[in-house]
Structures are given as structure tokens and as C-alpha cells.
Chains A and B, each alone.
Chain A
Amino acid sequence: MKEKIGVYICQCGSNISDYIDVNRVRDRIKDCPGVGLAKITMFACSDSAQKEMIEDIRGEKLDGLVVASCSPKLHLATFKSVALRAGLNPYNYVQVNIREQGSWAHSDRPADATDKAIRMIEAGIARVHLARPLEPIRISTVNSVAVIGAGIAGLRAARELADMGSRVYLIEKDHYVGGRTAQWTDLHDTEKSGEEIISDLYAEIDRREDITLLTGATVKGMSGSVGNYEMEVELRPRYIRPEAVEERLAEMMERCPVSVEDDFNYALTSRKAVYAKYGTARPPGPMVDRAALEKESAFLAEYSDCIDLEQKPEIKKFKIGATILSTGFDPYLPPAGEYGYGEVEGVITLPQLKRLAALHAGGSLSHKGKKIQNLVFIYCVGSCQSEGENKYCSRFCCTAACATSLALKNKHAVRQIYHLYRQVRTYGKYEVLFDEALNQRDIFIKFDETDPPRVEEKEGKVYVTVRDLLTDGEELEIEPDLVVLITGMVPSSGRARVAEVFKAPLGRDSFFNEVHPKLRPVETVIDGVFISGACQGPKNISESVQSALSAASKANAMVSRGEMELEPTLAEVNPEICLWCGECESVCPFDSVQKVVREDKEVARINQATCKGCGICTPVCPRDAIDLIGYGNAEMESMIDALIKRGEDHAG
């Protein structure tokens, strides 16, 4: 119980005093038990009034503070700081809103507004009586961030974090960095090729001592809580001896007897079982496709100075304060038969076309020995499916298709491209690319989802039939050299494991989900776990980088000060009463309830680092053993008592 509470009643100019009889209020309040001082002030928030309060608190040794004025949303922080400056714990201060919920709300009934103000202030006093001083919870943070996935998003986030002063662990499941960006040439936002961009970025990463790049790495587990996570990563070997001589490696790669489909080129070509992902792939050097090479004992023996199949996976553990997920996407893979894919020869996807163009840099295109001069693009394959699984639009594809068609005509001697589309979504400035495609006389044909184009093979040739909505539904038959399915994005297969380890939630579209789609697009509900790049939803490179840097700034702000402050108004379990039933655990949105053993009894305990103080757990406890600090039964019930006290009206 407090003995000397100071109560200040603000007139707010006349905003309050025009309707509420402040003198009457003071007269009723001044004799309440525990009130040491009750004053009327013109503007409580003014500098002079603040100074007066500070003097009073110090001089009169006040042990509690009630300010009856405007809404706490405006000035809670103001008066908390008054308390703090006067040496009073700010949690011993309560603001009572007699303006927005008093004089203004009831300006039509001044006497009743006065009565209400008295009751509200008495409730405030009751609350201050029971208030206990609290200190913010301070936890230390490790100024290190793990970035999962070294595509363009991960590489950029890593570089920026290091420059902002955080230590970085960049973790890539592949043996080479770069993700999908490395696969594309003729990018629409830059003159450089994807390979060049990645090599340049790799060089920058390599230069920074604060970045540890781990390739061939899988995240095995993560424990701890925000600011202090411990991460465990498994590193798979490349099976190449570190001491191997470069000439021998080159010779070995050339002489390798086993060839398999090349993923990097989407199976358009094959690669050796000892290989680098592509010529300038980084970190440099070849790797061994163990499964493909295992049985070639003669070859293995011959190159035993280069290859070492005995190399074992390695486990690495390190501490981090936060994580950025940037696991990217996979191109949608059409099931066999979708628009003839996998069944009709001469039907490929946009990623395959991009690789085909990269493989024929600067010259005319051919596919399976056939010269390519006329192409049909079919848009929205695997996207915007009103019946299928992928209801979403993949965002990048219309623009990428238009940009590709410009490159095909300019560099690859292509004659004509028919764009079979549903809506052309070259949003914003990308409209220019669509316009250029129209100007180079590409043909755009609009079809309806319910009546899609048909792709058929007749006598070894591909035919596409489509009903053109722009010419009154006329049916057209096109005989292209190649049909290209403009396939969208799906979340990368690598994300499932990550989602499990980090408990990062997935959205309806099964990309990672942000906390708030408008204002917090890179944060997740898990504190200290951020998402960036295409793993959050389809994005082009520049958008992926923006989101990566956004995530980097949030992660750096969170961990770089070495310390975090958390609000102390958290839930609290009374272990005497608790009999562990787990009800609270089941409703907590933040996984903050833990079962612990205390004096041979299982009880619940709240994790202070993760509890957000929502109080959702408090009503579900069958034994009423949980309270939110500041919102305990005693506080709430005494406030209720004060509000209803006395049958009489204060209005007089």
C-alpha cells in the first residue's frame, strides 16, 4: 500500500474544466486513503507542470503518481519520464483518461462527466496502491547473424550486415553460392550477367573477415531464444583433397568417365561426375558427385591424389543473435502432359529457354538439332490457377518473358514470338519492356483460363491452337519451332527443413509468412527470425535485394547493441498453486510456457525472453495460478470496486 500518492488533475486549458468540475473532483479525491497531495493544473504536460511534479515527488517524497488528463496514448511516455526523472519507479505511475473518455465523450452531461471522472481517478488510485516497481528485463545479445541460403538475397544481406558491424554466418546448402541468379543472362535491370553479379559479390564476401561462408551446409538445429540462439550446422565434403594440384584436377574433370544430367542447365545438357556448377562458380574448384562416381574404382584409384571419398561430414556450432532466411524458390515444374510438357518434343520451360539462350550466347538458337526461329510463349503456367494449388501470381514472369523476347530477337536471330497471355503484368516501369515487345512486333494473344491453348504433335511437328479473345474469340493455329511454358515460382524444396528447425510459419501459398503483410514484410512471429528474397513470395532480383537489406537492417538493429530491453509486464505463474495441466502452454501464441520441475512438482514457468505480455494464458488456467504483472486479480478487482463504489452519485 502506498502512503503518499500525488494526484494531478489537468484542466487541459478548458477542455476538461469546461465540462468537469475539477474543484469538486479534487475535493472528493484529496481525502482518499493514501493520497498525499491533490492538485489542479492548467496543462499537466507543459514544461512548468512537469517541473512542479518533479519537485513535489522529491520534496514530498511521493510514492505514487496519478495524472488525470488526456489519453495515455498521448502522454503515458511523458509522465513515465517525469517519474523517472524524479526518481520514482515509472511503474508507480497511472494515467487516467478524463478527456477523451470523460469531458469530451460526455460534454453533453457535465455533472455525469464529473461523477465519472471521480470514479475513474479513484480506480487509478486503487491501481497505484497495488503497483509494484518494475525494471525492464535486459538480455544480452550476440552481435552475430546467420543467413540461410546464399542466393542473391543471402549474399547481399551478408555483405550489408558485415558492413553494419555484425558478424555473419552465411550458410548455403549447395557447394556453390549464387542460387538462381547465376543461371540467367540478359537480366532486365542491369547490363551484367547473373554469373558476373555473383562472382563480384562473392569477391566482396570473401574480402570481409566478419563473414564465415559455409557451403554444402545443412542446418541441423537451433536452440535458445532471441539474442542468444545456438545453431548447429552439418558441412558435407566436396571429396576433393585440399592439397590436390590444379592441373591434375583439370585433367581429372576432363577424363571423368561418368556423365549425368546437368541440373544447372535444367537437363538440356549433361555434366561430368567431377564438376563445378558452372565455369566461374564460387567458391572455386570442383566437387565430386559421390553417388555417380562411387563405382568407378579404376578412375578413383588413378586420381587418388585428388579425390578422397573418406572425407566425413563435419558439425559446426556457433552462437547467433538472429537469423535471416533466404532460401529462395524453385521454378514450377509442370507435370508431364501439362501443355504437352515432357510428352511433346519442343515444349520447354522459361528457365530452360534462358539456359538455352545462355548456351548459345550471341548466336542463333537450336534445340535438339532444330533451328529455333518462331516461338510460342504460354503465360501463367503454374500460377494464377483458380482450380489448382498455386492461386497466386508469380509476379516476375510477365516481365521476364517480355525481356527474354527482346533478347531473343536482338541477339539470337529469332523471327517471331507469340505471347499467349491472360493479363500482361509488366507493372510499374517494366511497362516499357512490354511496350518494346509490342514495338518489335511480337504478337500478343489473350486467352481465357477456362479455354486454354492446346499443344499437340502432328507428324513430328508442334502445333498450338488458341482462341484469341482480342479478335472476338477467333481460333488460331500456330506452328512454332518451340513452345515455352512461362512457369512461375514455387517455394524452394530446401525450405521445408528450415521451416521445421526455425518454426517459421508458412502462408496459404506455402511461402514463408511475414507477421504483417503491410508493415512488417520481413519479420516473422518468431523473434529474431527474419525472411528475405523469394522465399517470402515471388520477387525479381532487385526486389529480393531490397527485402534482404531490409531484413539486414532489422536484424542488425536487434543484435548490434549487445543488449535488448523487454517490457517487464509479463505473465507470472504462482508455483504454489500450479499443478501443470498444460492449458496455458496450449494457448500461448509465443511458445513461452515451459514445464519445469520445482520442489518435486511439475509446474509451468514463463520464459521472460519470449513472453509478450498478452495475458492470453491467464483466463485459461483452471487454478487461477497465472497473472499478468500489473493486471492481477487484486488490481483489477479493486479498480472495478472503485468504479462502482457507493450507490450515490458523485454528481451531487
Chain B
Amino acid sequence: MHDRQGQGPPRILVFSTDKISDPAIDLAGLLKLHYPPTIYTVIVPCSSGVKPRWIMHALARGFDGVFIAADGTDCPYSPACTEHTGKVVGRTHEIMKNHNINPSRLRMAAICSVCSEAFVRQMKKFHADLAEMQNKTGEENQE
């Protein structure tokens, strides 16, 4: 069912938030802190509003990883944002397990509106981890 299967560099879908994490991702660009170009963002108002089905859709269509750049304690809507976003991730992890998808392909971290360095660090790490996962499954397939 994948449109593309594990070839090429890992592709990551990032859910960023309008007021908090997307400005940080912008700032990373401004400072020319490079990160892999196969990382794409989709903006939502609040990270607690990301639906598990969108994440599953992205994975089914061939994204290797999904990253939620959460509002954390800076969330302008709810002090319980981290908890809500955490639940979204938790529920999706369950669904992923049921579909035999490695849950570590979904990650979340709070990215404040100027945390560009943190964002880039997270992305590089996630990208490298996904590449390693690909290699492993690749090797397994060859055996």
C-alpha cells in the first residue's frame, strides 16, 4: 500500500504549530541551520489537535517518520497541552503496534518559538535513527 517503499533518504512529516513551534522552524532556516530536505511541515493551531488518523495516513502513504513539534508549556490554549498531545501520541503508538509499525517512527518534543537549535538537533537525530531502521529492515529483507 505504500506509494514509495523505504528507498531514498527517510522522509519525515512534522506537525508544527502556528504560534509556537513553526516560528522556531522558520528561525532555523533564517540562521541557515541546515537539516535534511526530506522533512516537511504541516501547520496546525495546537499540537493537541493532531489526529492519530493523519499520522497513520502519512505512514501508510510512505512517510518514514512523523514528528510532533509540540507547544509544551508555551501553549496559548491549554496548560494541559503537553498531556493532551502526549495522549495523542500514546493512542497512535497503540494503533501503530496493532499494525506492526515500529512505534519509534512517531516522536514528539516541545519546541519553543525560538528553539531552532533544538529542532534541528531533533531532526538530525530522528533522521539518522530512521535511516538506521531502514538499513536494518533492508538487511532483514535480504536475509
B103 smallest CB distance to A (angstroms): 17
Q: Find chain B residues with CB under 8 A from A640 CB.
A: 13, 42, 54, 57-58, 61, 63
Q: Find chain A residues with CB under 8 A from B81 CB.
A: 616
CA distance in complex: A104, B30 (Å):
6
CA distance in complex: A614, B84 (Å):
12
Q: Find chain B residues with CB under 8 A from A639 CB.
A: 42
Contact with A along B44-62 (1 / 0, CB 8 A): 1110111111100110011
Q: Find chain B residues with CB under 8 A from A636 CB.
A: 42, 51, 54, 57
CA distance in complex: A614, B70 (Å):
13
Q: Find chain B residues with CB under 8 A from A106 CB.
A: 34, 37
Contact with A along B4-23 (1 / 0, CB 8 A): 11011001010000000011
CA distance in complex: A97, B27 (Å):
12
B3 lies within 8 A of A619 (CB): no
CA distance in complex: A116, B40 (Å):
8
Q: Find chain A residues with CB under 8 A from B37 CB.
A: 105-106, 109, 112-113, 115-116
B84 lies within 8 A of A616 (CB): yes
Q: Find chain B residues with CB under 8 A from A105 CB.
A: 25, 28-29, 32-35, 37
Contact with B along A106-127 (1 / 0, CB 8 A): 1111001101100110010000
Contact with B along A365-399 (1 / 0, CB 8 A): 00000000000000000000000000000000000
A251 smallest CB distance to B (angstroms): 60
Interface with B: A184-192, A413-421, A643-651, which one? A643-651
A644 lies within 8 A of B25 (CB): no
A587 lies within 8 A of B38 (CB): no
A606 smallest CB distance to B (angstroms): 13
B50 lies within 8 A of A619 (CB): yes
CA distance in complex: A194, B61 (Å):
72
B122 smallest CB distance to A (angstroms): 14
Chain A positions 78-128 with a Cβ under 8 Å from a chain B Cβ? 97, 99-102, 104-109, 112-113, 115-116, 119-120, 123
Chain A positions 100-158 with a Cβ under 8 Å from a chain B Cβ? 100-102, 104-109, 112-113, 115-116, 119-120, 123
B93 smallest CB distance to A (angstroms): 13
Count of residues in A whose CB is under 8 Å from the partner chain: 48
A615 lies within 8 A of B48 (CB): yes
A615 lies within 8 A of B11 (CB): no
Is B134 part of the binding interface, using a Cβ–Cβ cutoff of 8 Å?
Answer: no
CA distance in complex: A71, B18 (Å):
11
Q: Find chain A residues with CB under 8 A from B84 CB.
A: 587, 616
Is B128 part of the binding interface, using a Cβ–Cβ cutoff of 8 Å?
Answer: no
Contact flag A614-B78 (CB < 8 Å), given A644-B3, A647-B3:
yes
B41 smallest CB distance to A (angstroms): 6
CA distance in complex: A115, B29 (Å):
17
B46 lies within 8 A of A100 (CB): no
Is A283 part of the binding interface, using a Cβ–Cβ cutoff of 8 Å?
Answer: no
CA distance in complex: A109, B77 (Å):
37
CA distance in complex: A637, B55 (Å):
9
Is A624 part of the binding interface, using a Cβ–Cβ cutoff of 8 Å?
Answer: yes
Is A33 part of the binding interface, using a Cβ–Cβ cutoff of 8 Å?
Answer: no
Is A11 part of the binding interface, using a Cβ–Cβ cutoff of 8 Å?
Answer: no
Is A562 part of the binding interface, using a Cβ–Cβ cutoff of 8 Å?
Answer: no
Chain A positions 578-631 with a Cβ under 8 Å from a chain B Cβ? 587, 589, 612-620, 624, 628, 631
Q: Find chain A residues with CB under 8 A from B109 CB.
A: none
CA distance in complex: A564, B8 (Å):
51
Is B132 part of the binding interface, using a Cβ–Cβ cutoff of 8 Å?
Answer: no
B29 lies within 8 A of A99 (CB): yes
CA distance in complex: A113, B29 (Å):
12
Contacts across chains A and B counted by CB atoms under 8 Å: 133
A644 lies within 8 A of B4 (CB): yes
Q: Find chain A residues with CB under 8 A from B78 CB.
A: 589, 614, 616
Q: Find chain A residues with CB under 8 A from B58 CB.
A: 640, 644
A633 lies within 8 A of B53 (CB): yes
B49 lies within 8 A of A628 (CB): yes
Q: Per a CB cutoff under 8 Å, which of B3, B4, B48, B87 touches A614?
A: B48
Is A295 part of the binding interface, using a Cβ–Cβ cutoff of 8 Å?
Answer: no
Is B118 part of the binding interface, using a Cβ–Cβ cutoff of 8 Å?
Answer: no
Is A261 part of the binding interface, using a Cβ–Cβ cutoff of 8 Å?
Answer: no
Contact flag A644-B63 (CB < 8 Å), given A115-B37, A116-B40:
yes
Contact flag A616-B48 (CB < 8 Å), given A73-B23, A589-B80, A649-B8:
yes
B45, B49, B79 interface centre (most CB from chain A within 10 Å): B49
Is B88 part of the binding interface, using a Cβ–Cβ cutoff of 8 Å?
Answer: yes
B134 smallest CB distance to A (angstroms): 15
A101 lies within 8 A of B26 (CB): yes
Please, which residue of chain B has its CB at the minimum distance from the CB of A640? B58
B38 lies within 8 A of A112 (CB): yes
Contact flag A104-B32 (CB < 8 Å), given A71-B26, A647-B3:
yes
CA distance in complex: A646, B50 (Å):
25
Is A641 part of the binding interface, using a Cβ–Cβ cutoff of 8 Å?
Answer: yes
Q: Per a CB cutoff under 8 Å, which of B28, B42, B50, B53 touches A624?
A: B53
B73 smallest CB distance to A (angstroms): 12
A615 lies within 8 A of B46 (CB): yes
Q: Per a CB cutoff under 8 Å, which of A72, A120, A619, A624 touches B49?
A: A619
A119 lies within 8 A of B40 (CB): yes
A105, A109, A589 interface centre (most CB from chain B within 10 Å): A105
Q: Find chain A residues with CB under 8 A from B77 CB.
A: 589, 612, 614, 616
Q: Find chain A residues with CB under 8 A from B7 CB.
A: 647
Contact flag A107-B3 (CB < 8 Å), given A613-B45, A624-B53:
no
CA distance in complex: A486, B127 (Å):
61
Please, which residue of chain B has its CB at the minimum distance from the CB of A648? B4
B34 lies within 8 A of A107 (CB): yes
Please, which residue of chain B has its CB at the minimum distance from the CB of A631? B44
Q: Find chain B residues with CB under 8 A from A628 CB.
A: 45, 49
B13 lies within 8 A of A100 (CB): no
Contact flag A641-B61 (CB < 8 Å), given A104-B30, A107-B34:
yes
Q: Per a CB cutoff under 8 Å, which of B3, B25, B40, B46 touches A616?
A: B46
Chain A positions 537-564 with a Cβ under 8 Å from a chain B Cβ? none
Q: Find chain B residues with CB under 8 A from A112 CB.
A: 37-38
Q: Per a CB cutoff under 8 Å, which of A73, A99, A101, A614 touches B41?
A: A101
Please, which residue of chain A has its CB at the minimum distance from the CB of B9? A112
Q: Find chain A residues with CB under 8 A from B50 CB.
A: 619
B44 lies within 8 A of A100 (CB): no
A100 lies within 8 A of B3 (CB): no
B8 smallest CB distance to A (angstroms): 7
A633 lies within 8 A of B51 (CB): yes
Contact with A along B65-95 (1 / 0, CB 8 A): 0000000000001111100100110010000
Q: Per a CB cutoff under 8 Å, which of A107, A617, A643 touches B40?
A: A643
- 8 interchain pairs (CB within 8 A)? A73-B22, A73-B26, A109-B37, A112-B38, A628-B45, A640-B58, A644-B13, A647-B62
Of all A-B residue pairs in the complex, the 3 with the closest CB atoms, nearest first, are A615-B49, A100-B29, A112-B37
Given contacts A115-B37, A614-B45, A620-B87, 20 further A-B contacts (CB under 8 A): A100-B27, A100-B29, A100-B30, A101-B25, A104-B30, A104-B32, A105-B35, A116-B38, A116-B40, A569-B45, A587-B84, A614-B77, A615-B48, A616-B48, A616-B81, A619-B50, A640-B42, A644-B3, A644-B58, A645-B3
